[in-house]
Homo-oligomer: A and B are copies of this chain.
Amino acid sequence: MPKISEERKAERREQILEGARRCFAEHGYEGATVAKLEREIGLSRGAIFNYFPSKEDLFLELAMRDSARMSEIWVEQGLDAVVREVVELDPAWLAVNLELVRRVRTDREFHARIEERQTRLTPANRAKLEDAQRAGEFRSDLDAKEIGTFVNLVLNGLALMRAGGEELPPTELVLSLLRDAIGGARRDTPLRTPA
């Protein structure tokens, strides 16, 4: 095998991951056969599995990147930005994640692998939340963990509705109601004058 530079390797990894994401989104996880992955990625199975030993590893790497990205947006830009991000995610890709929910619950090994890679409330997210509580952005009569799981609940709901092609409530409404639930300030003015 010819030697490949580190840079070239990194490029190839990206090529594989991008192609795999498109392929999963188009055909579903089960539907993404090795032949389809080869076609979409533009590399042979040998080349692909040289970087990722299995389809499962490809999926897990993509899922881990999603988590890391969400976590980063939360820490760098705050909660509103995370909500805005989720409502823009590709429904086809979200549905791939749903296809695997059964397996997350029933396959112990897969569960462990996904847990390990998932960003729930990371220390950085928690610190950010606690800062926001101190600054009065979020209410301080709840633990950061309680606020975090409620936000997670709303994000899960948005993701599921979007994956199924359901009409989402307007983002501004979601943000406003979320602030009423977990925001530091009381709701002083109604969104609209009562009819």
Contact = CB atoms under 8 A, between A and B. Distances in A.
Interface in A169-195: 169, 173-174, 177-178, 180-182, 186-187, 190-195
A42 interface: no
Contacts of A98: 98-99, 101-102, 160
A142 interface: yes
A158 interface: yes
A84 interface: no
A10 interface: no
A141 B177 contact: no
A149 interface: yes
Contacts of A173: 142, 146, 150
B164 A101 contact: yes
Is chain A's binding surface mostly helix, strand, loop or mixed? Answer: helix
Interface stretch (A43-51, A62-70, A89-97): A89-97
Range of interface residues on A (Cβ < 8 Å): 35 or more
A155 interface: yes
Contacts of A165: 104-105, 111
A149 B169 contact: yes
Contacts of A169: 146, 149-150, 153
A193 B161 contact: no
Interface of A: 28, 30, 91-92, 95-96, 98-99, 101-102, 104-106, 111, 139-142, 146, 149-150, 152-161, 163-165, 167-169, 173-174, 177-178, 180-182, 186-187, 190-195
5 contacts: A101-B164, A102-B163, A141-B191, A150-B169, A157-B157
Given A139-B190, A141-B192, A150-B174, 5 more contacts: A30-B30, A98-B160, A153-B158, A156-B157, A157-B160
